[in-house]
């Protein structure tokens, strides 16, 4: 277990690397780093950001594809997804599902298409996936820009937890209200849906890839439930609450992005508009 002073040093080093858009060696290369250690660093970062005036608006869930878990760690087997706080400084809305996003200062940025939920009610501590769905006020499509302060995107899962959960920014499309009837089968509907991703320059687009809601822990609703369950075991962090925005994990691989590209997404199997975002 990290000493509190070491966790604080790691936190300040990661914040400085982000501010200066610099790459640093993995924390785990400097000594053993457990998942609990990673969350201790993350807690330090959360407290510092709040003290500096940022507002926590929700959470991001990462590593939701179980098939990738064996490849993510050589030291500690990954048993569940990871999560990180979201702050108002890195979340923006694209009301017409179009937008322009700067990549200035982003460390090795990649793009992940996700489904975003807003909680309209605080879930009970023992809420089931269905009961969690009943707490969802709206859902939207989102592009999460993930970034990595470690060279070559090489790290242990605990390194990722410490480094903001690899979160850079979140672009949220037009929210769609979730009716009582929709909530009853939301997990199943999202699990059967798919998404396609296209990219290009100067108006010339080509298909880049596709993915499925079932790749996200079986369904984004199931990913939300896993986050809720994790937080019950982490009393140092606040539990989920009404008003939070939750981005639930990527439906595809994380695509490298750069300025000058435009990315467009489209869903099948669910009535949810895609996004059209140009990066500068």
CA dihedral of 45, 51, 55, 60, whole degrees rounded to 10: 10
Q: What distance in Å separates the CA atoms of residue 80 and residue 71, rounded to the nearest whole number? A: 14
Partner residues linked to 117 by β-bridges: 139, 246
- The DSSP 8-state label assigned to residue 273 in this structure reads -
Nearest 5°: the CA angle 79, 146, 50 is 85
Residue 95: pLDDT band with limits 50, 70, 90? confident
Contacts of 177 (CB under 8 A, 6+ apart): 137, 138
Band (pLDDT 50/70/90 cuts) for residue 74 is low
173, 214 Cβ separation under 8 angstroms: no
Angle, alpha carbons 94-90-7 (nearest 5°):
160
Nearest Cα neighbor of 161 from 237, 243, 258, 241 is 237
Express as a percent the part of the chain with pLDDT over 90: 90
What tokens were used for 53? 């005036």
Per-residue pLDDT reduced to its tens digit, 113-123: 999 999 999 99
pTM attached to this predicted model? 0.95
Average pLDDT, the chain: 95
Q: State residue 92 phi and psi, 5-degree precision.
A: -135, 160
pLDDT tops 80 at residue 66:
no
| Domains of the chain from N-terminus onward | 4-279 (3.90.850.10)
The proportion of the chain whose per-residue pLDDT surpasses 70, expressed as a percent, equals: 98
């Amino acid at each position: 277990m990290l000493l509190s002073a070491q966790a604080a040093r790691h936190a300040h080093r990661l914040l400085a690397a982000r501010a200066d858009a610099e790459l640093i060696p993995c924390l785990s290369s400097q000594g053993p780093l457990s998942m609990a250690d990673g969350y201790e660093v993350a807690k330090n970062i959360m407290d510092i950001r709040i003290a500096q005036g940022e507002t926590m608006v929700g959470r991001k869930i990462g590593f939701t594809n179980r098939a990738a878990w064996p490849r993510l760690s050589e030291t500690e087997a990954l048993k569940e997804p990871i999560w990180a706080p979201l702050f108002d400084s890195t979340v923006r809305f694209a009301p017409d599902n179009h937008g322009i996003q700067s990549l200035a200062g982003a460390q090795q940025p990649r793009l992940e298409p996700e489904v975003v939920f807003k909680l309209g009610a605080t879930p009970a501590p023992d809420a089931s996936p269905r009961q969690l769905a009943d707490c969802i006020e709206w859902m939207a499509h989102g592009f999460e820009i993930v970034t990595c302060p470690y060279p070559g995107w090489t790290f242990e899962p605990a390194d990722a937890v410490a480094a903001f959960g690899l979160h850079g920014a979140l672009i949220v499309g037009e929210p769609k209200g979730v009716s009582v009837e929709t909530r009853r089968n939301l997990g199943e509907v999202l699990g059967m849906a798919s998404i396609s991703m296209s990219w290009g320059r100067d108006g010339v687009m080509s298909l880049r890839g596709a993915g499925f809601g079932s790749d996200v822990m079986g369904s984004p609703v199931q990913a939300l439930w896993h986050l809720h369950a994790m937080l019950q075991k982490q009393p140092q962090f606040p539990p989920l609450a009404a008003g939070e925005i939750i981005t639930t994990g990527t439906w595809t691989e994380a695509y490298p992005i750069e300025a000058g590209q435009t990315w467009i997404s489209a869903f099948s199997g669910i009535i949810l508009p895609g996004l059209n975002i140009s990066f500068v």
